[in-house]
Amino acid sequence: MTEPATPASIAVTARIQWADTDAAGHYHFTTAFRLFEMAEGELLAALDLLSATSGRLPRVHAAADFRRALHFRDLVTVHATVDRIGDASLTLRFEIRHDAEVCVEGHFVTVLLDRPGGDPSSWSAGQRDLLLHGGRLGR
């Protein structure tokens, strides 16, 4: 019996940098979105979809819930997982963890365009298969 395929996902590590913090020493909320984008890029690269989608995946929605503050030099793990795929849309779910605790949860919704600045375009069957069944990927 084969195990069911799981959506593509990846975990990458990063360290909160000085420029990521505010005057109170806590990370700035925009840092979460930068880390989400870093994990998104790693996921697309691991699936060999980065060059095919570069400049063609604008965000149409972005959201985050902040559970715990992070500080300068904290080591975090950013998890990115394919959550849903529509005809042209892609929803990626993210978590940022420090010491195994979820600090931020969020998601992006993007739309695949036929060219940079172009019109929505359907995901190919091969791309859909990679995204929906790619499983856990290494960095």
Q: Where would I find the beta strands (DSSP E) of 1-69?
A: 9-15, 59-66
Q: Which residues of the chain have pLDDT under 50?
A: 1-3
CATH superfamily entry for domain 9-137:
Hotdog Thioesterase (3.10.129.10)
Per-residue model confidence (pLDDT) at position 1: 45
**9 with 69: CB under 8 angstroms?**
no
Dihedral sign, Cα of residue 135, residue 91, residue 47, residue 80:
negative
- How do the domains of the chain map onto residue ranges? 9-137
**82 with 9: CB under 8 angstroms?**
yes
Per-residue model confidence (pLDDT) at position 16: 95
